[in-house]
């Protein structure tokens, strides 16, 4: 089968083609696994973190990609959740131990044996992949293949961010960065919290315009002061400056939720602008999002279908994976990028 593989860590600005097209064997599903023929796979900033070494894979080479939509073509021994021909999705969570305190409490995202799709095991930048049936998810018919892919990470992780934010309808919410995840968070907010006002901070004018088109109350640059203080801010950027600026825009007792698996180091020095009185005092909180649970994915897919939440997508071929990743690195983003595999 065709697959784009990552052979090692590199700087994407110095190496614009970090992935190589190869032919590798089609995987054979093990007990309790299903084999899926991949139709599409979303492109995520986490792939940049893998390529540039912020979350280096366990072993190289590896097939990246964790927003996978495909058709079940083979069933491993003991499976019962799906039948051949079902359309399913695979998210960042590939598996967890199922036995530890975190797993038993429904927090398998914190499991010490958590395995990530496209990092710890081969993912969706390929024609086929095998996955434990427990961590494959039925895709609602409402969505096209390309629309479904970003829901599996950008959407589901945004949904988890909102759960951790603990906001109430009518709260003021800020979004820093306006890419794949944030634009879906805005759509969730418009549906689930209709009285809430949404304020967007984004570096690029086209992102701010896009946010207003989707119903943002206000959109400004990352360094702009918000016209109103905010109860909750969700940060979806890879940078540190938005964290500092967000804390200054929070109300007393407000909460900042950082929706990023890693932060880049290019502007880490901006943290020196952090002032306890202005940024942290008055019981402000910072909460990070770590991975996903299977329930996050299942619940969000149902919500997204009920709310008719369709992501904005840009389509690339599998062979154009490097191009899509470089555009993401350069922040040329409107909605989500999706690779069409089959």
Which structural domains are found in the chain, ordered by start? 2-153+292-340 (3.90.180.10), 156-288 (3.40.50.720)
- Residue 11 is predicted with a pLDDT of 92
Question: What whole-number distance in Å separates Cα of residue 227 and Cα of residue 20?
Answer: 47
Q: In the structure encoding, which two tokens stand for residue 176, read together? A: 């820093």
Secondary structure (3-state) at 2? strand
pLDDT of residue 267: 92
pLDDT attached to residue 126: 98
Q: Which residues of the chain fall below pLDDT 50?
A: none
Helix and strand numbers, DSSP H then E, in the chain? 9, 17
Tokens of 243: 């964290």
pLDDT of residue 79: 96
Question: How buried is 254 (Cβ within 10 angstroms: 0-12 exposed, 13-18 middle, 19+ buried)?
Answer: buried
Tokens of 309: 């939440």
Nearest to 201, CA basis, from 218, 186, 220: 220
pLDDT one-digit tens code per residue, 38-78: 999 999 999 999 999 999 888 999 999 999 999 999 999 99
CA atoms of 155 and 7, how far apart (whole Å): 29
* pLDDT for 179: 85
Is the backbone peptide bond immediately before 61 cis, with ω within 30 degrees of 0? yes
C-alpha span between 9 and 165 (Å, rounded): 34
- Identify the pLDDT of residue 260: 87
Q: What is the rounded distance in angstroms from the CA atom of residue 321 to the CA atom of residue 17? A: 9
Distances (CA, A) of 246 to 140, 171, 218, 237, 266: 35, 16, 15, 11, 18
Digit-coded pLDDT (tens) for 227-282: 999 999 999 998 999 999 999 999 999 999 999 888 988 899 999 999 999 999 99
Other Cβ atoms closer than 10 A to 17: 13
Kindly report the pTM of this predicted structure: 0.91
Residue 62 DSSP label: B
How far is 241 from 47, CA to CA, in rounded Å? 22
| Tokens encoding 87 | 């359309």
């Amino acid at each position: 089968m065709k697959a784009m593989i990552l052979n090692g860590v590199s700087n994407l600005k110095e190496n614009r083609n970090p992935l190589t097209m190869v032919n590798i064997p089609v995987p054979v599903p093990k007990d309790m696994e299903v084999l899926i023929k991949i139709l599409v796979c979303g492109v995520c900033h986490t792939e940049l973190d893998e390529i540039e070494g912020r979350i280096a894979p366990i072993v190289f080479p590896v097939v990246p990609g964790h927003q996978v939509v495909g058709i079940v073509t083979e069933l491993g021994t003991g499976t019962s959740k799906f039948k051949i021909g079902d359309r399913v999705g695979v998210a960042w969570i590939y598996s967890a131990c199922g036995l530890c305190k975190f797993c038993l409490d429904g927090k398998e995202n914190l499991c010490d044996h958590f395995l990530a799709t496209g990092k710890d095991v081969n993912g969706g930048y390929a024609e086929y992949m095998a996955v434990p049936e427990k961590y494959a998810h039925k895709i609602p018919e409402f969505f096209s293949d390309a629309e479904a892919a970003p829901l599996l990470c950008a959407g589901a992780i945004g949904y988890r961010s909102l759960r951790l934010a603990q906001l109430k309808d009518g709260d003021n919410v800020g979004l820093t960065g306006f890419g794949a995840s944030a634009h879906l968070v805005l759509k969730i907010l418009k549906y689930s919290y209709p009285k809430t006002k949404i304020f967007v901070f984004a570096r690029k004018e086209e992102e701010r315009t896009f946010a207003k088109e989707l119903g943002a109350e206000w959109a400004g640059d990352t360094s702009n002061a918000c016209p109103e203080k905010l109860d909750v801010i969700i940060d979806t950027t890879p940078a540190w400056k938005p964290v500092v600026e967000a804390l200054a825009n929070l109300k007393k007792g407000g909460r900042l939720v950082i929706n990023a698996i890693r932060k880049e180091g290019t502007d880490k020095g901006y943290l020196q602008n952090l002032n306890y009185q202005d940024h942290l005092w008055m019981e402000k909180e910072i909460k990070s999002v770590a991975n996903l649970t299977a329930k996050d994915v299942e619940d969000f897919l149902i919500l997204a279908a009920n709310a008719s939440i369709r992501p904005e997508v840009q389509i690339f071929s599998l062979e154009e994976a490097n191009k899509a990743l470089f555009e993401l690195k350069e922040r040329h983003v409107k909605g989500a990028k999706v690779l069409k595999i089959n």
